Amino acid sequence: MATRLPEDTVRPAAAVDPEVPTTRVVGRRRSTGTWWRHLLVWLAIAWALFPILFILSAALNPAGTLSTSGLLPRAFSTSNWSELFASRPYWTWYRNALVISLVATAGAVFIGACAAYAFSRLRFAGRRPGLMALLLVQMFPALLTFVALYFTMVEVGEVLPEVGLNTTTGLILVYLGGAMGANIWLLKGYFDTVPRELDEAARIDGASHVRIFFTMTLRLVAPILVTVAMLAFVQFWGEFMLASIFLKDVDSQTLGVGLWQMQQGNEKNANFGEFAAGALLASLPVVVLYLTFQRQLVSGLTSGSVK
C-alpha cells in the first residue's frame, strides 16, 4: 500500500511541472551576434591577399607581360626568374639593400636607445623642450629636407668622396640623421617602465651610467629594441626616395631603385613578369623577420605604449 505524503512536503528539485513551458532547448547554442565580425575579418584577409595573388600569378606567367597577367595563373614557369638573374644585377641590388638596411637599423636602434635612456633616466636642462622639439620635427614631411640633403652631400663628397653622393656610406649617414626622432617616444615609454630602484642600487655598488645602460638596462628593454629594429628595418628596406636620389650607378643601387628602373621606358609592359618575380623575392626578409619576432613585436608595442 502506497504511503501518501503530507501536503506541505517540498518537491524534489528535479521535479518539473508539465504545465509550465520550458524555454531551454537542449543541443542549441545561443547566438552571440558576432558573425559579422568574423565576416569583416575574412573580407580584410581577402582584400590583403588580392595583390599578393596577382603578383604571384604575374611572376609565374611565362609570357611575362602586364597585359597577359591575371588574378589566377594560366601556366606555371620560372622563366621570369631566369631572365631576371641573367639580364639584371639583381643579387647585387639585394646585397646592397640588405647591407644598408642592417647597418642603418643597428645604428638607429643604438642612437634611439641612448637618447631614450638619457630622456628617461637623466635630469638636465632642456629635457622636456627637447622631447617636444623631437615631436614637432616629426610633423614636417621629410620631403622638405631632400634638396638640402642633396647639396650637403655634394659638398661633403668634395672633401670626403667615401661618404658623398653615390656611396653606400653616405646613404647610411643620411638615414641615421633622423634616427633619434623616429621612435624616441616609444622607446622612452618602455624605459620608464623599468624600476628606477634598480639604477639606484647599481649606483650604490659603484656602477656608472654607461655600465648600467649596457649591462642591465638594455637586457630589460630587449622587447622594445626588437620592435624598433623591426620597424626600422622595414622602413629602410622599402625606402625609395632618398636611395633614388643618392645612388646613381647601377651596381650601387638598392633593390627598390633597381626594380623601379626596370619599369621605366618603353619596355615596362614586357618586364612586368621579371618585376613581379623580383618583388616576391624582395618580400622574403620582411616576412621571415615578422614570423620570427612576432611575440617581441606585440610585447614591445603594448608595454611601451602604457606611459
Domain 89-304 has CATH 1.10.3720.10: yes
Share of the chain above pLDDT 90, in %: 23
User: Which one-letter amino acid corresponds to residue 160?
Assistant: L
What pLDDT does residue 4 have?
A: 54
Query: pLDDT tens for residues 112-139?
Result: 999 999 998 888 888 889 888 888 888 8
pLDDT of 275 strictly over 60: yes
pLDDT higher than threshold 70 for residue 303: no
Report the share of the chain in percent with pLDDT over 70: 83
Whole-angstrom CA distances from 110 to 14, 179, 203 are: 70, 9, 23
The whole-angstrom separation of Cα 274 and Cα 262 is 9
Question: According to the model, what pLDDT value does residue 3 have?
Answer: 52
pLDDT at 22 over 70: no
Give the residue among 292, 251, 283 at the shortest CA–CA distance from 95: 251
User: What was the pLDDT predicted at 278?
Assistant: 92
- Is the pLDDT reported for residue 296 higher than 80? no
Convert the pLDDT of each residue in 251-267 to its tens digit.
Answer: 889 999 998 888 776 66
Confidence of residue 268 (pLDDT cuts 50, 70, 90): low
What pLDDT is recorded for position 28? Answer: 53
119, three cell numbers: 630622456
- The pLDDT score that the predictor gives to residue 266 is 62
Listed in sequence order, the DSSP H helices in the chain are 35-60, 79-87, 90-121, 127-137, 146-159, 168-177, 179-182, 184-191, 196-204, 209-212, 218-220, 222-237, 241-246, 255-262, 272-282, 284-292, 294-304
- Side-chain-side CA neighbours of residue 262 (13 Å): 27
In the chain, residues under CATH classification 1.10.3720.10 are 89-304
pLDDT score for 237 = 94
**pLDDT above 80 for 304:** no
pLDDT recorded at residue 121: 87
Q: CA-CA distances (angstroms) from residue 58 to 87, 238, 272? A: 18, 21, 7
Predicted confidence band of residue 307 (pLDDT cuts 50, 70, 90): very low
- Give the pLDDT confidence of 132-183 residue by residue, as tens digits: 888 888 888 888 888 888 999 889 888 988 888 888 999 999 999 877 776 8
Q: What is the pTM of this model?
A: 0.80
CB distance 154 to 226 below 8 Å: no
pLDDT at 271 over 50: yes
What mean pLDDT comes out for the span 185-209? 89
In contact, 277 and 85? CB cutoff 8 Å: no
Average pLDDT across the chain, whole number: 82
Arithmetic mean of pLDDT, 230-234 = 91
What are the grid coordinates assigned to 282, written together? 624582395
